[in-house]
Amino acid sequence: MTETLLKNLRTRSALLRTVRDFFYAADFFEVETPVMIPAPAPEEYIESVPAGQGKFLRTSPELAMKELLSFGAGRIFQIGSAFRAGEFGRKHREEFTILEYYAAGWDYKKLAAFTAEMILRAAEAVTGGSRLSLHGKTVDLANVEYITVDEAFRRYAGVSAFEVSAADKFDELMVLKVEPELGRNGITFLCDYPADRASLARLSPTDPQVAERWEVYIDGMELGNAFGELTDGFEQKKRFAAAQAFRRAHGMLEYPEPEAFYRALDRGLPDASGCAVGFDRLTMLLTGAEDISQVRFC
């Protein structure tokens, strides 16, 4: 084990404590939900790891935490492992740590401001200030920018996000043109995804072309994804059916129906917003690590 890893693991530990304190102070309570689950959320491009006996390792704790919301949990957070098959790179591992949190009654913009505050406090606790020195430039986390997905695509790729999304060119342009420009000077929230990329977010009541979804970036790195949660059970089941059909058509592993989550939808989800942050990536940013293996014992 190298000295750098040990040093970073200490920073990671301090960060865990700071983040927990931040959530407690905001009246969240910490939960743990099963890692081995009967049915992952069917998504187009997220592969779960089968765990045997018909079960799967969770790709995120999302469905279980929403079940808790449906029981009236209110504000909850969780820090734990999640698993995504086939993901391996500088910023990816099949096993990684997710920080996921939900707040009933908060809209997705309020959750963004809260998330910016959490990141800033975390940075102050482990680096002593809001400025990070990354790739030869200074990023000040006190700077918070909001940009819509369509504005970002127009500005950095010269195209309409809606058009490229419909033409299935969204992901390439995102990686090659847009992402490197995000979070250059601070924290950037990339907001309001085209409706066809809503995932589990509800559509905006004022502009149904977009979904209440944001992703947060610092120094070109995606740190987290958030939704104004879709609470309409009918619409949610329709989206999952479409994702299942996509998976079937592409010869991907098909998942069982997430029955417990469907019961939660029938029971009724409160209006809520939720976010998942890659905890390893947050640690990478605050330690300056270039590879996830430098901040997590893999």
Counting contacts by CB under 8 A, is residue 242 touching other proteins? no
What is the helix (H) or strand (E) element at residue 36, kind and residue range? strand 36-37
- The nearer residue to other proteins, 171 or 254, going by C-beta atoms, is 171
By CB under 8 A, is residue 161 in contact with other proteins?
no
Residue 177 sits in the site that holds other proteins (CB under 8 A) = no
Spatial distance between the Cα atoms of 59 and 82, rounded to a whole number of angstroms: 5
Subset of residues 115 to 154 that bind other proteins, contact rule: CB under 8 A: none
What's the CA gap between 242 and 200, in Å, rounded?
Answer: 12
Phi-psi region of 251 (alpha: psi -120 to 50; beta: other; left: phi over 0): left
Applying CB under 8 A, among 30, 44, 163, 196 the residue interacting with other proteins is 44
Is the CB of 95 or the CB of 140 nearer to other proteins?
95
Which residues are CB-contacts of 105 (< 8 A; sequence separation ≥ 6)? 270, 271, 272
Q: In terms of C-beta density within 10 A (0-12 exposed, 13-18 middle, 19 or more buried), how is residue 92 classed?
A: middle
Position 109: which residue type? K
Q: Nearest approach, Cβ of 209 to other proteins (angstroms)?
A: 18
Q: Total binding residues for other proteins by CB under 8 A?
A: 23
- How many whole angstroms separate alpha carbon 60 and alpha carbon 84? 9
Q: How far is the CB of 160 from other proteins (least distance, A)?
A: 17
From residue 178 to residue 207, the character string flagging contacts with other proteins as x (rule: CB under 8 A) and all else as - is -x-----------------x-x--------
Q: Let me know how long the chain is.
A: 298
Distance CA 187, CA 243 (A): 31
Q: Which residues of 16-48 are buried (b: 16+ CB within 10 A; e: fewer)?
A: bebbeebbeeeebeebebebebbbbbbbeebbb
Taking contact as CB under 8 A, which single stretch among the options 6-14, 67-75, 81-89, 107-115 is the one that binds other proteins?
81-89
Residue 176 contacts other proteins per CB under 8 A = yes
Shortest reach from residue 86's CB to other proteins, in Å:
7
Q: How far apart are CB 90 and other proteins at their closest, in Å? A: 7
Q: CB of residue 8 vs other proteins: minimum separation in angstroms?
A: 21
The reply to whether 14 sits near other proteins by the rule CB under 8 A is no
Window of 9-17, 85-93, 102-110, 134-142 that interacts with other proteins by CB under 8 A:
85-93
Asked if 174 interacts with other proteins (CB under 8 A), we say yes
Distances (CA, A) of 114 to 121, 144, 274, 292: 11, 12, 11, 25
Q: How far is CA 22 from the centre of its chain?
A: 18
Q: Write out the two tokens for 252.
A: 């991907």
Binding test (CB under 8 A) with other proteins, winner from 90, 137, 155, 238? 90
Q: Nearer to other proteins by C-beta: 188 or 225?
A: 225
Q: Is the CB of 6 or the CB of 176 nearer to other proteins? A: 176
User: By C-beta, is 31 or 112 nearer to other proteins?
Assistant: 112
Point out which residues bind other proteins (CB under 8 A): 43-46, 86-90, 92, 170-172, 174-176, 179, 197, 199, 215, 222, 225, 250
